[in-house]
Structure 1
């Protein structure tokens, strides 16, 4: 199946999920995850009008970003080591994986040195899986309160990864849990502005994530494909 056909199929599935849940299609945005594909394929993704690009590791994305960064909006969606902040700061419009205070402080420090604010999402390990990164739900509000004191970070939303399930619907409690954390965060008014974004849902479960309120879905294989 061609990239154009995969895009059309994904868009149809997004539209159907929005209709089922009474949501507007324009409130759901697709991040094309290009971590498994070449610079040439990433260029084709941009040509197809998929302008939000997701990558996990700077050493892998570096040649793509250097060649193509002006054409799209880049999202860092992988685990970010504190000593790698210098590589991604100012290059990615969004950091989806802020999950600890040491990382928040380093992002704030380097953003301040550049005279900018960096948009971040707080990553929460809603499922509790040991293999997943993210702050535990019972420590989430404490982290949010500390992050809210930093001047050079703008928190736009929350992110999570659901466990791999044979049935996509089994991921629903994880996505619902993230939405409920966001809503409670807003009720508590920890930040001086509303938090709206939910980055959740990947190739195997994005329709369920949309039904539960996802505003960013991160799609790799189902959309971009995978090169061996």
Structure 2
């Protein structure tokens, strides 16, 4: 089932790229494996998937230790400062930086292990009260501060769009994040790259790709509904 679903998602990404005149190579699929067992991740690996996303630090660390080291792990959930030390050497990319204090902690842990840690700034484009992330207006001032940290590298932006019945409703959200990345890129700041736009999930990733996503985070569309009674 996992291989088939991966194939379907890949096909949908290609179609969305075709529709918007993009090269499918520009879009990275992150298979969101939170709460999924090792066996399902192995199924995805057999089908050629090597990039996985986790919401929780502990779950990422457990899977990192249990699975082959050629996999790439992305921390896509909210990150508490006291947990940074556990993933500083494991996360290929942290998608959810939303404060200077968190970035300073990442910088501190990066310095300890002499690793410049790539991050995305999480933007709450839709201004939902239940979501983490900075507002569109706060994004540039925050990036200006974080860019001064030598062990943190800003690679782009991330957003979690609202859950909607019609994915078209999220098009303005994705468009706004893309425009924000273009505006920030034009400032040519040191240590700031805007080559990554992490947006779009199972419900709306096709629309996100059409609007410029370079990473989509798909869990249910690959692994089926989440089972919260299992975490490993």
Tell me how far 1:63 sits from its aligned partner. Answer: 2.4
Any residues of structure 2 matched to 1:176-187 within 5 Å, and which? 176-187=175-186
| 1:100-139 aligned within 5 A | 100-139=99-138
Q: Distance in 1 between matches of 2:181 and 2:154?
A: 11
Let me know the Cα RMSD of the aligned residues.
Answer: 1.2
Over residues 153-189 of structure 1, what are the superposed CA-to-partner deviations in whole Å (9 max), with x where a residue is unaligned? Answer: 1111100010011100000011111111100001122
- In structure 2, the residue matched to 1:166 is 165
**Taking structure 1 as reference, are residues 166 and 90 closer, same or farther at Cα in structure 2, changes over 3 Å only?**
same
TM-superposed deviation, 1:8: 1.4
Q: Which runs of 5+ in 2 are unaligned?
A: 228-232
Q: What is the Cα deviation at residue 73 of structure 1?
A: 0.6
Given that 1:175 and 1:200 are in contact with CA atoms closer than 8 Å, whether structure 2 keeps it comes out as yes
Task: Work out the CA distance in 1 between the residues paired with 2:10 and 2:214.
Answer: 14
Gaps of 5+ in 1: none
Equivalent position of 1:155 in the other structure: 154
Map of 1:81 onto structure 2: 80
By how many angstroms is 1:126 displaced?
0.4
Q: Aligned partners of 2:13, 2:125: CA distance in 1, in Å?
A: 23
Q: In 2, Cα distance between the equivalents of 1:192 and 1:45?
A: 34
- Aligned residue number for residue 97 of structure 2: 98
**Displacement, 1:191?**
3.2
Instruction: Give the TM-score normalised by structure 2.
Output: 0.94
Matches within 5 A, 1:45-64: 45-64=44-63
Q: TM (normalized to structure 1)?
A: 0.96
Which secondary structure does the structure 2 equivalent of 1:223 belong to?
A: helix
Q: Tell me the number of residue pairs that the alignment of Structure 1 and Structure 2 aligns.
A: 227
Alpha-carbon offset, residue 227 of structure 1: 5.1
Counterparts of 2:218 and 2:75, CA distance in 1: 13
